[in-house]
Amino acid sequence: MDAERVEVVEVGPRDGLQNESRVLSVDDRLELIGRAVAAGVRRIEAVSFVNPARVPQMAGAEEVMAGVRRGAGVSYIGLVLNRRGLDRALAAGVDEVNVAVPATDGFCVRNQGRTVDEMLDVFEDVAAAAREAGTPVSATVSTAFGCPFDGETPPERVVEVARRAAEAGAVEVALADTIGVGVPAQVVDLVRRVRAVADGAVLRCHFHNTRNTGYANALAAHGAGVRVLDASAGGFGGCPFAPAATGNIATEDLLYMLHRSGVATGVDAGAIARTGAWLGSRLGKEPPALLGRAGGFPAS
Amino acid sequence: MDAERVEVVEVGPRDGLQNESRVLSVDDRLELIGRAVAAGVRRIEAVSFVNPARVPQMAGAEEVMAGVRRGAGVSYIGLVLNRRGLDRALAAGVDEVNVAVPATDGFCVRNQGRTVDEMLDVFEDVAAAAREAGTPVSATVSTAFGCPFDGETPPERVVEVARRAAEAGAVEVALADTIGVGVPAQVVDLVRRVRAVADGAVLRCHFHNTRNTGYANALAAHGAGVRVLDASAGGFGGCPFAPAATGNIATEDLLYMLHRSGVATGVDAGAIARTGAWLGSRLGKEPPALLGRAGGFPAS
Q: What is the ipTM of this complex?
A: 0.95
**At residue B1, does pLDDT exceed 60?**
no
Distance CA(B121)–CA(A114), nearest Å, equals: 69
Q: Would you call A212 and B213 a contact, using CB atoms and an 8 Å cutoff?
A: no
Q: How confident is the model at residue A300 (pLDDT cuts 50, 70, 90)?
A: low
What is the mean pLDDT of the segment spanning A157-165? 98
- Which residues does chain A have within 8 Å of residue B212's beta carbon, measured at their own beta carbons? 209, 215, 249-250, 253, 256-257, 289-291
Give yes or no for B231 touching A (CB within 8 A): no
Distance CA(B76)–CA(B95), nearest Å, equals: 5
Give yes or no for B252 touching A (CB within 8 A): no
Q: Would you call A146 and B298 a contact, using CB atoms and an 8 Å cutoff?
A: yes
**At residue A240, does pLDDT exceed 90?**
no
Distance CA(B203)–CA(B186), nearest Å, equals: 15
Domain B7-291 class, CATH top level: alpha beta
Give yes or no for A224 touching B (CB within 8 A): no
Candidates B212, B241, B261: best to mutate against A (most CBs of A within 10 A) is B212
Report the pLDDT value the prediction gives residue B119, as an integer from 0 to 100. Answer: 98
Q: Would you call B298 and A148 a contact, using CB atoms and an 8 Å cutoff?
A: yes
Q: For residue A147, what is the nearest residue in chain B, using CA coordinates?
A: B298
Give catalytic status of residue B239 as yes or no: yes
Strand partners, B206: B176
Distance CA(A87)–CA(A129), nearest Å, equals: 9
Of B146, B186, B215, the CB nearest to A216: B215
* CA distance, residue B245 to nearest chain A CA (Å): 5
Strand partners, A173: A139, A203
Q: Would you call A299 and B151 a contact, using CB atoms and an 8 Å cutoff?
A: yes
| Least trusted range by pLDDT, from A13-22, B91-100, B137-146, B151-160 | A13-22
In angstroms, the first-to-last Cα distance of chain B is 35
* CA distance, residue A165 to nearest chain B CA (Å): 26
* CA distance, residue A82 to nearest chain B CA (Å): 28
DSSP conformational letter for A200: T
pLDDT digits (tens, 9 = 90+) for B5-44: 999 999 999 999 998 989 999 999 999 999 999 999 999 9
Q: How confident is the model at residue A208 (pLDDT cuts 50, 70, 90)?
A: very high
- Return residues 50-69 of A near B (CB < 8 Å): none
Residue A2 identity (one-letter amino acid): D
Give yes or no for B147 touching A (CB within 8 A): yes
**At residue B265, does pLDDT exceed 80?**
yes
**At residue B300, does pLDDT exceed 80?**
no
Distance CA(A81)–CA(A252), nearest Å, equals: 29
Chains A, B: CB contacts under 8 A, how many? Answer: 137
Of B146, B293, B295, the CB nearest to A298: B146
Residue A251 identity (one-letter amino acid): T
